[in-house]
Structure 1
């Protein structure tokens, strides 16, 4: 019996496509990221602007950083589907929650 290794990614693609235009909170597998000299946890919140085979694009996107919990990145970001650890459409981007 042949298994389809793309099944989870295909399901995520369908789920994200259904959420097009809605706000989502995404956590990626990385323990921390570094951008422009700032180290932060990989927690992003934004509106789904595009879903492709293998990625989701958020625009506008908010990086949830300890020292700037509502930092809106000035351009869209694309996140590879295989890097998504957690996803929620139930948490709004203006929600305050502890990051430490």
Structure 2
């Protein structure tokens, strides 16, 4: 059974977490944290900064990212499609050096 997946892109000293997803039935067990920590370790030594975007409505993910050390660096207006139009994205970054 697949519990989740994650996607990381590294180029020109920057790492971008493109997606982290955990099966809703398997959430709240530390799987997302383990995937996030693994992605950071993969990026360490190959990138100076890790970037990601998150929906403002995803409070659990925001809390996890902040707990690991990510900081808000901006907002992308209308980034995500949503039921009632578009939803902004919070841009976060983690310095690795």
Q: Same fold (TM over 0.5)?
A: no
Q: Which has the higher strand share?
A: 2
- Of Structure 1 and Structure 2, the greater helix share is in 2
The bucket for the TM-score relative to the shorter chain is: under 0.3
